[in-house]
Every structure is written in C-alpha cells, then in structure tokens.
Chain A
C-alpha cells in the first residue's frame, strides 16, 4: 500500500522563478494538505484541498497556490520565489479532512532558493 508520494525530492531554484511541487495521496485518502517546514521549526499549514477546491488556507501570500485533480493528487505552485521560501515542503493526506485523526505525510520536497 503506497503511502504519500512527493516529487521531486530536491529542487534548486533562483530568486524570482516559479516552482511546482507534486503530491499523490495515500490510497483511499481524498484530502491533501500542504505544509512548509523551515529548518529547526515545526511544519506551518499552507492550505488544504478537498473535492478539488481549497477548503482552508493558512497565513501564506497569494504567491502560494495549489490545485487538486480528480484522482485526488495535488500540486503546490510558488511564484516569484524569495530566499525565505527555502524549506521542506510536506504533503499530508487524510480522509475527509482528518485533522482530528491524524495525517499521513510524504517525505517532502527540499526547496532551495538561491
């Protein structure tokens, strides 16, 4: 049973560029959440997608956007990259929200902005 799959695992981008990160949820899960984890910090909630719509958003600028596809997979897009966007981006899947019962996380995409 495949868990949450994220791609790519590592990425280096230049300031001002745009990046797309991808996530396939665990089999049977229909909800995808994205988190940003800076070095030495806990994950910070970016947004959650359910039924192909953004259901809730954290305190992140509009440069961060996402999408969920009919097969429940998801993309995270970040425009006009800043040095401060360097972090581990984690995708978490769950069933119908799942905040109360816990999430299954992927291994993350390490984004470095230079």
Chain B
C-alpha cells in the first residue's frame, strides 16, 4: 500500500490546456517534494514545500502544500509537449531518512 496516493494515474491533454495532479496521504510530512521523470532517466527534483499552506511557482508550474501537511497539488498552466513525463510526489518525515513516493501520474501533452 502506497503511503502517498496520486491522482489521476494517467492524464492526456492538448497543448495549451491546464492540468492538476493531486497527492494525498493520511500521514503528516515535514516536507513534500515533486519530481519529474522521463523514460530511461532518474527523477529530477522540481520543488520542495515545507510549510503548511505554502504555494510555490516555477514558471508555468504551481505547487501547493496542504494546511495540514498531508496533501499537495501540482498545477500546470498552458501545458507544452515538453511537460510530458511521469510526475512523482514524495514525502519526507522528521527522524526518517527515506522518501516515500507515490505511484506517479503519467502526463502526456499532445502537440
């Protein structure tokens, strides 16, 4: 059983559309991280959020950490084909060195 549940599992949209990916858990995390992974590559860190209610923007990507630090969302505005990939959320807890990953959301942006 995954500690972090991501939804949806798959998302296919047209270039220029917006999308949101969700990451939910019943556990509290000290920080939550979002990674993007392309085929044949390792995950690449996009952002780390550490404060409940925190919102971070990275160009067309907006990340939000829930007030209770149990959930997060990733919103992409005006998606481009280069945004295609597997988006993974991962949680870190105090006194725990590992990251707990969700199963990922596969995003496909069609030109």
B103 touching A40, Cβ below 8 Å: yes
Q: Which of B2, B42, B96 has the most CB of A within 10 A?
A: B42
B48 touching A42, Cβ below 8 Å: no
A42 touching B42, Cβ below 8 Å: no
B98 touching A102, Cβ below 8 Å: no
| Interface window among A11-19, A43-51, A62-70 | A43-51
A42 touching B97, Cβ below 8 Å: no
Main SS at interface, chain B: loop
| Contact A105 to B48, CB < 8 A, known contacts A42-B104, A55-B97 | no
B contacts with A, residue count (CB < 8 A): 27
| Contact A42 to B31, CB < 8 A, known contacts A99-B99, A105-B42, A107-B42 | no
A106 touching B42, Cβ below 8 Å: yes
B42 touching A108, Cβ below 8 Å: yes
B92 at the A interface (CB under 8 A): yes
A91 to B, closest residue via Cβ: B42
B97 touching A41, Cβ below 8 Å: no
Cross-interface CB contact of B43 among A40, A99, A105, cutoff 8 Å: A105
Chain B 94-111 interface residues, beta-carbon cutoff 8 Å to A: 96-104
A33 touching B43, Cβ below 8 Å: no
Cross-interface CB contact of A102 among B2, B45, B103, cutoff 8 Å: B45
Interface residues of B (CB under 8 A from A): 2, 4, 30-31, 33, 35, 40-45, 48, 50, 88, 90, 92-93, 96-104
Interface residues of A (CB under 8 A from B): 4, 33, 35, 40-45, 48, 55-56, 58, 90, 92, 97, 99-108
